[in-house]
Amino acid sequence: MSPISRRKLITTGVAAAAGVSGLAEAARLAQRYGLIPPDHGGIYGPGETLTYAAQRLLTRHSMARTFPRSMISKTPFANEVVPRGKDFERSQSNRFLDWRLVVDGMVSRPLSLSLADIKSSFPVHSQITEVACEEGWSYIAEWIGTPLHEVLTAAGLEPQVRYIVYYSMDHVIWESIDMADALHPQTLLTWGMNDGDLPVGFGGPLRLRVPRQLGYKSVKYVIRFTATDDIKKFGKGLGSIDPEGGYAWYAGI
Amino acid sequence: MATVAPRLETKAPRHTALVRVTHWLTVISFLALLVTGCEILVSHPRFYWGEVGNDLTRPLFIIPIPASRDMVPTGYHVVLPDENGWSRYLHFEAAWVLVLTAFVYGLAGLFSGHFRRDLFPERGNRSLRAHWERLAKYLRRAPPDDAEARSYNVLQRTAYVVVIFILFPMIIWTGLAMSPSFTSAFPATASLLGGRQSARTLHFFLTGLLVLFLVVHVTMIAMSGFRSRMRAMIAGRAAAPRERP
């Protein structure tokens, strides 16, 4: 081995310093433009941050693939993993007439809506999109509902809101999405499926469809949306129940 | 087995630092992807063709193993533990290492002439017949000739070209075709393959081909002198006396 020359030492030192300050600057910019996911810590943090940042740069406004009516699955699969609980059963026996959807947090006009309110007060949209589970299986259905941004706009989002947190009636599942997904035209507050009511097995009476992410972000039996600028205040501060159970918060892959 | 004269060994070119570093980064990320990929597969060991497929759809084929999900009809009464969380995190993190490594290696290989000089089969020696003749030579266990001791032969070149320019790009493509977000920006990634489930099935078969390459590659290294080959890929020199397998 030849001894390290002074020139080489200086070049290496300058390159290392530039690299470190470059990384620090990149981290600052990423934070500013919302490219860092809530679960950015730990050994899997760098990979998760790269995925989320790359997707946000590439796909902020892109539209999930939609399919012709002929491709609607004849055998969709209702993945029922979490018990729906007593509160759900009580509302079900009441034909969901007492179902309330609450919109609160950083909004100027908090809302409490019945299913009838949601169906009559907001524009009705439908989309034929695919549900893809992280396990590997999938199906296509037509989903009918109102875009989430219509409801959020009616509630009057404050400008500094960065995440929408949402909860299931099963009192177990809670999720959050960033504003790119929350305000996306295909993020659908869904009550109908394939020209009928949304069946309970598929999330009826009310499910949030997030078609640009895997199935686990499309929470069934939604009862509450909370607008926030600080996701750390919720649960363990990792964005949703997924990282608490070892799964990625961002499921667009 | 005959040996190559040490004279030739000392003349053998070093692997460049770039080739050595990217080689081992690829090894590490590939092994991580393989283990976590198998783990993810266990949650749904059924494969389909086309856009959709689930427990209620007729599969193309089934891997006959228990699943880590009790609703998958596998016929086993055992449910394996769910390890998908960390497996998925690590799968995609390792995929980033692989893709970034491939990017650096690809650019460097293009501009340094590594691909043209060392990998693409040489003009005049790339016919099917040339491949067969080299294969026959392997089967006779004949020693490598003068030129081969310093460079790759036609079978090695073709194998490396297939792995580097076909299998790895295809496995990255089929992986991206399963991303609901990536396909929203680039729908053709999924539709050109015949749909999301086709992409998943192809991803599985491509893994099989890469594992086949890995097995043959490691076998050949073991047969041609494991320690000297490892030294060549780690330190860049292959001057040690040749070992017997």
* Range list of H helices, chain A: 6-32, 45-59, 86-93, 115-121, 148-155, 179-182, 241-244
Could you identify the residue written with the tokens 């004849």?
A: A74
Contact B26, B183 (CB under 8 A): no
Contact B92 A135 (CB under 8 A): no
Q: How far is A42 from chain B (nearest CA, A)?
A: 11
- Does pLDDT of B151 surpass 90? no
Nearest one of B106, B95, B191 to A54, comparing CA atoms: B95
Nearest-angstrom CA–CA distance, B80 and B87: 14
**φ/ψ of residue B71, rounded to 5:** -90, -5
**φ/ψ of residue B39, rounded to 5:** -65, -45
- Does pLDDT of B242 surpass 80? no
Query: What was the pLDDT predicted at B13?
Result: 66
Three-class SS string for B170-203?
A: HHHHHHHCCCCCHHHHCCHHHHCCCCHHHHHHHH
Q: How far is A233 from chain B (nearest CA, A)?
A: 23
Residue A2 domain-assigned (yes or no): no
Percent of chain B with pLDDT over 90: 80
ipTM: 0.91
Contact A65 B182 (CB under 8 A): no
* A110 compared with A21, residue with greater pLDDT: A110
Q: Any CB–CB contact under 8 A between A59 and chain B?
A: yes
CATH number of the domain within which A233 lies: 3.90.420.10
Chain A residues with CB inside 8 Å of B181's CB? 55, 59, 62, 212-213, 252-253
The neighbouring-strand residues paired with A143 are A127, A193
H/E stretch holding B210: helix B196-223
Percent of chain A with pLDDT over 70: 98
Residue A54 domain-assigned (yes or no): no
Among chain A residues, CA nearest to B89: A44
CA distances from A160 to A69, A164, A227, A230, A233 (A): 39, 12, 10, 10, 15
Among chain B residues, CA nearest to A186: B184
Give the architecture-level CATH label for domain B6-234. Up-down Bundle (1.20)
* B178 compared with A23, residue with greater pLDDT: B178
Nearest-angstrom CA–CA distance, B53 and B201: 11
Q: Compute CA B172 distance to the chain's CA centroid, rounded to the nearest angstrom.
A: 11
**What is the domain count for chain A?**
1
In tens, the pLDDT along A174-217 reads 999 999 999 999 999 999 999 899 999 999 999 999 999 999 99
Rounded mean pLDDT of B69-90?
Answer: 94
Triad A72, A73, A77: Cα angle to 5°? 135
Three-class SS string for A152-201?
A: HHHHCECCCCCEEEEEECCCCCEEEEEHHHHCCCCCEEEEEECCEECCHH
Residue A14 domain-assigned (yes or no): no
Nearest-angstrom CA–CA distance, A101 and A169: 10
Query: What was the pLDDT predicted at A3?
Result: 56
Contact B53 A211 (CB under 8 A): no
Which residue range forms the structural domain that includes residue A154? 64-244
Spatial CB neighbours of A14, under 8 Å, sequence gap ≥ 6? none
